[in-house]
Chain A
């Protein structure tokens, strides 16, 4: 079964440092997403990406965040200057053309900001 791959599985970083979280979506999928889940809280939407541009973003996705699809396979989330409150599980997901079939999520990157 095709899967979404995320690396690293766990990243520890110091406050103020930049981090890049990486994802390889399923190859024939066209829409890509980042979600986050702070420990003990619900899954929250960050951003969606289609046709090499952001199609939608939430209020969480401020100027500290950016996304890229640099080489046609990887999909990255960059946090420029991490804060303690950025500590969370970050999930990448992808879908084909429609949302009716739900998403396939990656196994996540646990980001710990110290």
Chain B
């Protein structure tokens, strides 16, 4: 089983749509969770951290379900500029580990 699993997409949605991405992780020792955004051939950029209580940043809402080992990202009112690959990322803490484990990403294409 992959450590971090995502639906690769692509998700093709019209401008203004709401779209949700899901992610599951296999290691229950995972402690920190993030969504990164990656544009084609560019570096990953932190979109938001994901907290146990859920958190929101403008049009973006992230949720974490530790019992199900499941993370989600909701994007409301999609913009053309949201077109990118969204990476689910976890950190497995313990013995000083700071390495991040990345999912393969979910591609979003917002269409006019």
Give me the interface of A with B, judged by CB distance under 8 Å.
31, 33, 35, 41-45, 48, 55-56, 58, 89, 91, 95, 99-108, 110
Contact = CB atoms under 8 A, between A and B. Distances in A.
Interface in B77-112: 87, 89, 91, 93, 96-105
B45 A105 contact: yes
A58 B38 CA distance: 22
B102 A43 contact: yes
A31 B36 CA distance: 19
Given A45-B100, A56-B99, A99 B43 contact: no
Contact of B99 (A33, A91, A110): A33
Q: Chain A interface mostly helix, strand, loop or mixed?
A: strand
Interface residues of B, number: 25
Contact of A43 (B44, B91, B93, B97): B44
Interface of B: 32, 34, 36, 38, 41-46, 49, 87, 89, 91, 93, 96-105
A42 B100 contact: no
B49 A55 contact: no
B98 A41 contact: no
A101 B38 CA distance: 17
A40 to B, nearest CB: 9
B41 A99 contact: no
11 contacts: A35-B100, A42-B104, A43-B102, A48-B99, A55-B98, A56-B98, A102-B36, A102-B49, A102-B89, A106-B43, A108-B43
Q: Which of A44, A55, A99, A110 has the most CB of B within 10 A?
A: A99
Nearest to A45: B99
Given A43-B100, A43-B102, 4 more contacts: A42-B87, A42-B102, A102-B36, A102-B46
B12 to A, nearest CB: 19
B80 to A, nearest CB: 23
A95 B49 CA distance: 14
